[in-house]
Amino acid sequence: MIPVRGYEGERVAVLGLGRSGLATAHALAAGGATPLCWDDGAEARARAEAAGLTLHDLTRREAFDGVAALITSPGIPHLYPEPNRHILRALHAGIPVDNDIGLFFRSLGSGEWDEMDQPPRVIAVTGSNGKSTTAALIHHVLEAAGRPTQLAGNIGRGVLDLDPPRDGELIVLELSSYQTELARALTPDVAVFTNLTPDHLDRHGGLGGYFAAKRRLFAEGGPDRAVIGVDEPEGLFLAGQLAMGPGDDRVIRVSVNEKLTGPGWLVHARKGFLSETRKGKQVGAIDLRAVPALPGTHNHQNACAAYAACRTLGLSPKVVEQGFASFAGLPHRSQIVAEANGVRYVNDSKATNVDAALKALMAFDNIRWIVGGLQKEGGLAALAPGLANVTKAYVIGREAEAFARDLGDVEAEVCTEMQVAVAAAMSEAAPGDTVLLAPAAASFDQYDNFEQRGDDFVARVRAALGA
């Protein structure tokens, strides 16, 4: 646990009692504060009370009297589409609003590092797509190289659940826009921006607000190194804002769309080959085609970002390559779950938006595509470049018929349920085909989350194969 510093002897309200909220309350108590816990859900309140935490009804008129701060869970809106009622009352009362990420950065370096030879460092990864794989890949390479490291944030453990860092430890965080937009402290040593595509637009008031939330990771604390994907205008803009000139190697530009040239620190991948150049000379290269857990251009982008971050930490190209080779990938992200009779089965349930699904479609040929769910803003038109790789679509979700119509000329079968879609795809698949779950939609019409959806796909495939 990371004890929260700066609130010793203070009363601090905690709103939202899921994983991060409970960890925040315990970390506040460990740091000498009195956490006052509330959740609008009775079940969550009961869990907190069973964990020995003090409930504090934020609906009462005097609820914020004598409260030093309100710490809110990332999933609770504080501005758009409209502020949560408790957050609005805190703002009216002039009470600071923060989240666990802000508390983490505020508390991490508060005195305990004085006797360490090498203070711990934080590598924080954000972006629309690929941030989980990028963060996990960095963490894996560091582990494989024998470096002390922990992984947390939007993946795995909550940030305040981390063990107190050891001498020279490297903490890798995956941070969503929900986490970066409200944190009052953001001071990573290395910050990574993978890419930007439209997502969560209602929460951020549009694409500009979404980008602004991501940009805070780089603007608030000024990282020592910034790894920036420049394949979208926003990434180009961010790199331009941070760099003092073309040769400023504090900014490492990453691309999978073009060969990067110039005097700066550059990492790009073309046709499966990663290349690193500095001052116009190639200093490292990796054949990514030999890494089975990183298929497709989108994973090559993740690899470039992870490679660049690891290089800033002093790892050699060879050491990074060895780490890539032993990376097993993440569940629900281009996860190869089985291969049988010449057919490959891939779980990419994390492809919850059109851009992520397009990248999955571009990574494989002869696809029998399981798709559908709660469609997001913007429609499905952006999938067009990948549809040539689709042999047939098998559409799931409560609105499967409407979803199928939006796929245009693609042959589509309305299945509605996962079990029907898997059975149909498997019965029609031929050697050389890939049965791919890449929904291009949220899961909440039929599942609690994308993990549950992916687990359902995997279980049905393996049951049918007798695995």
Was 133 annotated as part of a binding site?
yes
The verdict on whether residue 146 carries a ligand-binding annotation is no
d(CA 271, CA 120): 36
Residues 392/464, Cβ–Cβ less than 8 Å: no
Residue with tokens 């607000």: 209
Whether 71 and 28 have beta carbons less than 8 Å apart is answered as yes
Whether residue 206 is annotated as binding a ligand: the answer is no
Q: Is 427 annotated for ligand binding? A: no
128 is in an annotated binding site: yes
Nearest to 440 by CA among 413, 409, 400: 400
Contact predicate 38/15, CB 8 Å: yes
Residue 374 has, within 13 A of its CA and on its CB side, a CA count of 10
**Would you say 438 and 450 are in contact if contact means Cβ atoms under 8 Å apart?**
no
Residues 225, 54: Cα–Cα separation, whole Å: 41
130 known ligand binder: yes
* Vertex 281: Cα angle to 279 and 285 (nearest 5): 125
The reply to whether 131 sits in an annotated binding site is yes
Residue appearing with tokens 């994308």: 450
Tokens encoding 21: 């909220």
Q: Are 227 and 255 in contact (CB under 8 A)?
A: no
Can you say which residues are annotated as belonging to the binding site for ATP?
127-133
Can you say which residues are annotated as belonging to the binding site?
127-133
